[in-house]
Each structure stands twice: as structure tokens, then as C-alpha cells.
Structure 1
Amino acid sequence: MSSTAADAETPVMSQRERMDACFARLEELSAQRNAIDGQIVALVAEVTRDGLWAGTGAKTVKGLVAWKLGMSDATAGSVAAAAQRYDEFPRCTTALCEGRLSLDQVGVIAAHAGAGSDDHYAELASVATVRQLRKAISVEIKPEPDKEPQEQYSFSKTVGEHTTTYRITVPNVEAAKVDAALGSYREALINDYRRDHGSDTVDDPESPSFDASGLYVRQTGHTEPRFPTLTDAFLQMVQTAWDAEVARRPHGQHTTVIVHLDVDKRAGWVHAGPALSDADRQLLLCDSDCEVWLEQRGQVIGAGRATRVISRRLRRALEYRDRACVVPGCGSTRGLHAHHIVHWEDGGPTELWNLVLVCPHHHREHHRGRITITGPADRLVVTDESGRALTNKSLARPPTEPPPAVGPWRGPLGERAQWRCYTPFEPQPPPPSPN
């Protein structure tokens, strides 16, 4: 039989039939992809639940997934959200593993849905698109939020009829910087005040004379500006900050945090302040405007080496060379710290070969012993807690197993939602505790 005759006997598929065949194959592949995503979420949930990712150098589970699996931030966020609440949404995650729901659907539910809504959204997700799920979750009836404990960093403002009160909470290391800055500005204001009004001034603790007692003002009716306080120093510091890009902060030589180091015990503490942990001590000695005083058996024996502060020229060279945080998988480019590879207190110099840029998170992780950074900078090695080198290599490789045997995924109905008839999820109050 000739080829012409064979071609004539081959049935010619219509455009509609070809489209149906393509859709059938897409349904099969989509279900397999959903099932594979479900397996990925299950594995990431195990990593999250047991804290296995803490020694990888990644800041978050989302960052770890994006780094190791080559995913976008949005997709990695869906994986991380579904993994974090894997046990809380068993129906949704089971449907994902069976190929009946997509990662985006389960990710939206896990990221935003309320507690106890697994059954509600598992039913809705079987027919709703991702956009419809977002809409349904947005109209969800939210419970009254519980009062959360105060974070280590907090800032609040209370506005009264005539005054405003600010309240700020920061760790002791940052508080030492604030105290040093306020002390410097107040000292400058006091010097200016004494220059203009003399040494015997009202409220001056160093001039307890008759004129400074307040009687002079009451008897003569003479009024003078009040003696500078820490509030005045704070306002002066804020006012000066407006010009920070134009000129250096005034009295910069006085705004230095003073740290005392015991040369025998490797202990450190802020001047007239609390003791520092080993991690905070090493962190403070890396790249901060800090004056170090060495002590031995409780006696000051001298000052530390001249400087650890990174000059502007050295900082530019670091930024040009490193560009971003040097820890693999991070990529942060803002707020970077200059880190001494050989710690300053161990004799490490402030030179380019001994410096690298790291983000604040990885800087703290290093000084807490969770990652190790060794050099010099041109042969940098970053390892996790177990000593394994961190690299930018992806985990992706050719598969060795067949795809999951799941049925085709039909997907959402695609119908227009009638939100007037929709009953949003409402969390149920907890059962009363037995007396």
C-alpha cells in the first residue's frame, strides 16, 4: 500500500478534537504536578516542624525553598505557608497530594484562612478559582485578636490634648547607642547654655549655688530658658537628623558606645550598663562606632586598638566587591554589615581581605555559632552548624521515579461567584472548659 493511501486512511482530527486531546493531557499533567507539589509541601512541612532548616543559613523557610528549588518568591511563599499549617489543614493538603487541588489554592488558604476552616475551604476550593478563594477569605468573619506579648522591638505613640508621649523598646545593645547619642547632644546643649547664661544656672547639678537654686528667679522675677534635659537632647538629635545627608552629625566624637572588655575572661559590658553576651560582644566589635576599654582584675589597663570602623572608601570597595550578603542563598543588598572574618578581638585587622558584607540576620547567626564564615575573603567558605559548606547549587535533578498515579485534574468550575448567596466562614467559639 502506498504512503498516499495510508495517509488517506488516517483519520483527520478536527480542531475541536485536537483541543479536547490537548486539554485531556493538560488535566493529566496538572494532576501529576499538583501531587508532586503536595509531596514537596509534605517534605518542607517536616523540615519546618522539626526545625531542620535552622542550620542551613537561610533566613526563612520561604527563602530556603526559593533558594534550593529555584522557585519564585510567590511560589515559595505558597509552599512555605502550606507547610507551616500542614497539620491544620489535613483535607486541603490531602487533596493537594492527590492532585485534586493546586498549590496556589492551598497556599492562599494556608496563608490567610482562619483556624478551623479546613472543611469549609476544602469544599469551596474544589470548585473555586484562586481569585474567588481570595475573595472568600477576605469576607471571612475574623475573631477578636488576642493581645500578643510585647516584641523585643516596639514603638508606640500616645497623643494627649497638649502633649504626645512616645514609648520605644529596643535591645540593650541598641539602647546603649541611644544613650550615648542622647548624652552627647545633652552635653553639647549644656555647654551652649553655660556659655550664654554663666556657670551658675538653674537646675545645673554642678552649680548648686544661690543663683542656681531657683530663689534668684522667684525674687527678681527674672526668667531664663530652662536647663537642658534629655528631652531637649532628643529633639535636637531629631532636628539634626534632617541634615544628616548634608553634613556629619555634630559632636560625632562623643556619640560613641563605650564597651569594657575583660582581657582574662573574654567578658564585655556596656559602660555603666548591662553585660553583653558573647554574640553581642563580637557583633558590636565588628562594624560599629565603639570605644573599647580593656580591664584586668577590675582595673582599666588601657584602650583597645585604634579602630574597627569601616571608612567610607573601604566600605565602597566592599560594596563593589561583594554586592550583597555573602551567605549563599541570601541576596540581601540593604542594611549590610561589614564583618571581620577573623574577629577583631582575636587580632583580626580592619582590611579588605579580612572583611565581607553580611546582612544583619546572618551576622547575628554567625556570632551565635549557627553559621561559620572563614576566609580570607577571596576564598570564602560558609558552613552550617554541622560543618557542611553552603552553596548556591539547586537541588533539582532528573527524576528517577515515575510520576504519581493520580486521576486528571478538572480544575475550578470557572463560574461567576454569587457572593450575595455565599456564607463566609465564621470561627466557632471554643467549648467551655469542664469545671
Structure 2
Amino acid sequence: MTDRVVGHATQIAALTARFLDLLRVFDERGVWTGAGIRSCAHWLSWKTGLSLRTAQDHLRIAHALTELPLLRAAFAQGRLSYSKVRAVTRVATPDRETELLTVAISATAAQVERVVRSIAHIDRAQDEYTAGRVDSSARWRWCDDGTLAVTMRLSPVDGARFLAGVVRSEYERTRTTGDPDVPIPTTTRDGDGEEVVVAAKPDLWRHVPANIADAVIVMADAARTAIAMPEFAPGAEIVIHTDSATDSSVDAHLDDGPPLTAAEVDAASCGGSTRTIGHAPRPTRGARRGVALTFGRKRRLPTHALLRVVFERDRGCRHPVCGRTRHLHAHHVRFWRDGGTTDPDNLIMLCSTHHQALHHGVFTIEARGNQQFSFHRPDGTLIDTAPTLAVTGNWLPNTTLHPTAITPIEPGPLDLAYTIEVLYGIWDHTPSRHPIAA
């Protein structure tokens, strides 16, 4: 059983390498174009069931391997797994390829990831030192336990601005909770009779708190309630979904986020920009959530309330190969000039790219009633939302591959510092193996 599992893993690696070779040629020839498809990654996501992020990764790796023949050959021989190739191609260059291949073959996938992260960190530090600046970045994600994780890396000035905002927010938070150590601003008049603001306590206030979570929440609340936004601005308010039109705590959950307790719903509702959306039961099996807003022929432009309903229903561009969630337009499937109505049965969300493609005849949309729509090519054939995958050809294992090629060569423990020191020692003192032609 062990031999079969390892042998199949080797075959999978070799087949993946072949798949990426075909994908690169497929992309270079532009075979994926047509019917409103915006990129090869979107075509791949549509036709093969991959997520858009995975499809983009496949394309990145496929094109990167064209300049890395040693890695490409080892991948095709089943000696490197896809996980290792994905990691190494983030930092690999023709001058580094030989050493990185040695590390990848001799280490586990987890160890390769650690080495690559260290190299990327060093490269970024060197680039920033050369450029003389640091670009601020921040990322967020919902964790499995329902909490939100935020990671930020700010330039010195941006970091100082952030901490200054934290101190002010902490001051506001503690002031409103009656903290006795917080100086309360008062007014008085100077010698010229001008009114000036002074603190009741002249002592300096505290510095940046060690735990800045509470202050950051105050900063977010202040921005959420004080900054004016357009009436319809998805993402700029707390959106809570519930399965009851009257009770906001029934099966409540954040928009694209984790479930909420009744107490959490009540706490969120204290903000000035919180919206609760109640969903009625679906009218028929498999149908989308029903709505009651209908404006018929009396109104061409949808109201903000109707826009929210259509946006909540579609959750992005409805074209089968898109899914884009920004720069969306509400489109009348049956044009207004042709008698189309302004209601959910005739409105659909399209991104700017597919909206323009529709009006240029690249594809058509048919309203099928009950807020259901179908997309068609110019010849009338249906553009499937998720085409069925089918096995093609009579595939047999490649018998030329060594059955244990995928297994690392004596992986052992990783001395990360020593590994990085050796790699950069080689790269910093080895002339370029690929000189630029004169």
C-alpha cells in the first residue's frame, strides 16, 4: 500500500508538470478567448472547477518554469511535488536554479517553504534598501474560529501615523468610560480674553498601550460612523444576514463571515452604519432568495434599496466565468427601451467589462423568470455555469518514472540559518551564469 501511494504521488507530480506545459502553450496561443472571458485564469476556473486564485497560481508557475529548465525537468520526472515547485518559483531565477533545486530535492515541502520565505524576506529587505523606501502593506482573513486576523507592515511614517491614531483612540475610549487618569479638556481665557482649551490635569497622558485592540476598534467605529459614504456602498457598513424578517438574531452571520450570537448582533447594531438583511424562505427548491420590490415601468433607474437587493442576490458579476465583485453595473436584461421593467426579475449585476461586452454582442442574457437568468453565445448555445468534467483518453502510468522519485533525499532537520548563509554565499560570489548578450 505504501509503495502504491508514493508511486501515485510521483505520477501525479509528472502529470501536473505536463498539464502546466500544456497550459502555458494554451495561454500563449490565446485559445481561451471568447464569449466574454477576461483571462486564461478565468477560463481555467470556469472549465476545470479550479478557484480563480489556484488558476492564477498555475499560470504563474507554468510561465516561470520556461526560464527554469532544471526545475522543469525534475518536476516532469516526478522528483518535485507541485507544492515544492509552487514555493521555489516565487524566488527562483536562472542564476539561483541549481542550488534551489538541490534544496528542494533534499528537503520536505514544509522545509522548502521556510527556506523560500527567508529568501523572499532577505530579497525584499535588499530591494527596499536599494530603493530607499518601504511600501506599507496589510492583509486580513477570517480564521476558522470566527475571529479576524490582521497582519500589517507599515513604513516608518505610516507606522507613526497609525500609532498616533491609536493613542487618540485610546484616549477617547478611556475618556468615555470615566478613566480617572485621563485629563478632561476644559476652557479658560488668557490675558487677552481669548478662550483657550486646557487639560484639567497637566500631567502627560499614557503612551501607546501594549494591547492596541480596543483602540483600533474605536478607530474603526469612528471612521465607520463619521465618514460620509454613498448611499449604496457594499463593504463600508456592517452587514448582518438573518433567516427571519423580524428577529435579527435568528441564524445571524456576518456578510461573507462567521455566525453571530444574539449578543454580538446587539453589539454590532449599536453602530451607525449597520444593516440587517432578513431572508425569506426560497419560493421553490433551488431558486434564489425571493424579493418583493417591483417598480415596473414607472421607474428606469433602480432605487438604492433595490440595488442592495440585487447586489445581495448576485454577490458579484453574474457572468458564468467572472465572479468579479467590484465596479458592478445593474443591467436591464430586457432593455428599458424594449419594454423591460425595473425589478429583480429583469435586473442583473454585471462588471464593467462584461457589461460592455454584452452591448457589443459578445454574448446575450435571457431572463427566465423567478430571478433566474441564462447566458448564451451569439449562436444561441448555452454558456454553462459549471461544465461537467470528463476523463479524456486512456491514461496509463508513465513506467519510465522511478516509483519513489517524489520522496525527498534524506530530508532530516533543517538548519535554516546555515542553509540561507550557504545559498547567499554561493549567489553573492558566483558570476552570473546567464550573461546579457552584447
Q: TM-score, normalised by structure 2?
A: 0.50
The answer to whether the 8 A contact 2:364-2:377 is kept is no
Structure 1 residue 30, shift from structure 2 partner: 0.8
Structure 1 residue 23, shift from structure 2 partner: 1.7
State the alpha-carbon separation in 2 of the partners of residues 398 and 432 from structure 1.
43
Counterpart in the other structure of 2:423: 424
Structure 1 residue 33, shift from structure 2 partner: 1.0
Structure 1 residue 74, shift from structure 2 partner: 6.3
State the alpha-carbon separation in 1 of the partners of residues 310 and 352 from structure 2.
16
The answer to whether the 8 A contact 1:356-1:377 is kept is no
> Which blocks of at least 5 consecutive residues in structure 2 are unaligned?
132-154, 158-222, 234-296
| Equivalent in 100, 105, 120 of residue 126 of structure 1 | 105
Count residues in correspondence. Answer: 271
Structure 1 residue 87, shift from structure 2 partner: 1.0
1:249-284 Cα shifts (integer Å, max 9, x gaps): 9xxxxxxxxxxxxxxxxxxxxxxxxxxxxxxxxxxx
Name the SS of the counterpart of 2:80 in structure 1: coil
Structure 1 residue 309, shift from structure 2 partner: 3.0
1:132-158 Cα shifts (integer Å, max 9, x gaps): 2222223336375899xxxxxxxxx9x
The answer to whether the 8 A contact 1:57-1:384 is kept is no
Structure 1 residue 29, shift from structure 2 partner: 0.7
Give the 3 Å change call, closer, same or farther, for CA 246–363 of structure 1 in structure 2: closer
Give the 3 Å change call, closer, same or farther, for CA 433–91 of structure 1 in structure 2: closer
The correspondence of residues 362-373 of structure 1 with structure 2, limited to 5 A, is 362-366=354-358, 371-373=362-364
State the alpha-carbon separation in 1 of the partners of residues 342 and 17 from structure 2.
49
Structure 1 residue 240, shift from structure 2 partner: 12
Structure 1 residue 63, shift from structure 2 partner: 4.2
The answer to whether the 8 A contact 2:231-2:304 is kept is no
State the alpha-carbon separation in 2 of the partners of residues 386 and 312 from structure 1.
36
Name the SS of the counterpart of 2:364 in structure 1: strand
The correspondence of residues 305-320 of structure 1 with structure 2, limited to 5 A, is 308-319=300-311
Counterpart in the other structure of 1:242: 226
Counterpart in the other structure of 1:375: 366
Give the 3 Å change call, closer, same or farther, for CA 67–144 of structure 1 in structure 2: same
| Equivalent in 387, 391, 396 of residue 397 of structure 1 | 391
Task: Give 1:416's aligned amino acid.
Answer: P
> Which blocks of at least 5 consecutive residues in structure 1 are unaligned?
1-21, 148-156, 160-238, 250-304
Give the 3 Å change call, closer, same or farther, for CA 112–372 of structure 1 in structure 2: farther
The answer to whether the 8 A contact 1:109-1:133 is kept is yes
Counterpart in the other structure of 2:48: 69
Give the 3 Å change call, closer, same or farther, for CA 120–43 of structure 1 in structure 2: same
Q: TM-score, normalised by structure 1?
A: 0.50
| Equivalent in 411, 422, 427 of residue 407 of structure 2 | 411
Name the SS of the counterpart of 2:318 in structure 1: coil
Task: Give 1:400's aligned amino acid.
Answer: N
State the alpha-carbon separation in 1 of the partners of residues 100 and 76 from structure 2.
16
Name the SS of the counterpart of 1:87 in structure 2: helix
State the alpha-carbon separation in 1 of the partners of residues 379 and 105 from structure 2.
43
Name the SS of the counterpart of 1:41 in structure 2: helix
Structure 1 residue 381, shift from structure 2 partner: 3.9
1:94-120 Cα shifts (integer Å, max 9, x gaps): 222222211111122224434543333
Task: Give 2:226's aligned amino acid.
Answer: W
| Equivalent in 23, 45, 62 of residue 44 of structure 1 | 23
The answer to whether the 8 A contact 2:87-2:113 is kept is yes
Give the 3 Å change call, closer, same or farther, for CA 51–307 of structure 1 in structure 2: farther
State the alpha-carbon separation in 2 of the partners of residues 247 and 41 from structure 1.
46
Task: Give 1:415's aligned amino acid.
Answer: G
Give the 3 Å change call, closer, same or farther, for CA 355–77 of structure 1 in structure 2: same
